[in-house]
Amino acid sequence: MGLFDFLNKGEEKPVAPAAGTPNANADTDFFGNSKADTTTAAATTSETYTVVSGDSLSKIAKNHYGDASKWHQIYDANKGTIGSNPDKIEVGQVLQLPKL
């Protein structure tokens, strides 16, 4: 395009968006990043752990996170599986280990 090309425009037509360009109404931002709630994403990216004999939530937290005091996060993510008593986990239970 030369310096004076703006004088010889001719007929102008609207430009269609390029393929793969994020849509303003889509669930992504300008850069293509998801606008989805990050807590939902975190819940789906957790690992699982099957309880073995001698386990406790604090032992699992110590082995997985390196900090036994993080057992609360494991319990909060698994209240439906464990029940109301965090001291009573059973061999064979499959627990979700959330990403911290």
- Over the chain (100 residues), the average pLDDT of each successive run of 10 is 60 61 59 58 71 95 95 95 94 93
Residue 83 lies in a domain: yes
pLDDT at residue 36, rounded to an integer = 60
Q: What is the pTM of this model?
A: 0.56
Report d(CA 100, CA 82) in Å as an integer: 20
Residue 2 lies in a domain: no
Report d(CA 97, CA 61) in Å as an integer: 9
pLDDT at residue 41, rounded to an integer = 47
pLDDT at residue 46, rounded to an integer = 74
Give the chain's domain count. Answer: 1
Residue 30 lies in a domain: yes
pLDDT at residue 42, rounded to an integer = 46
pLDDT at residue 65, rounded to an integer = 95
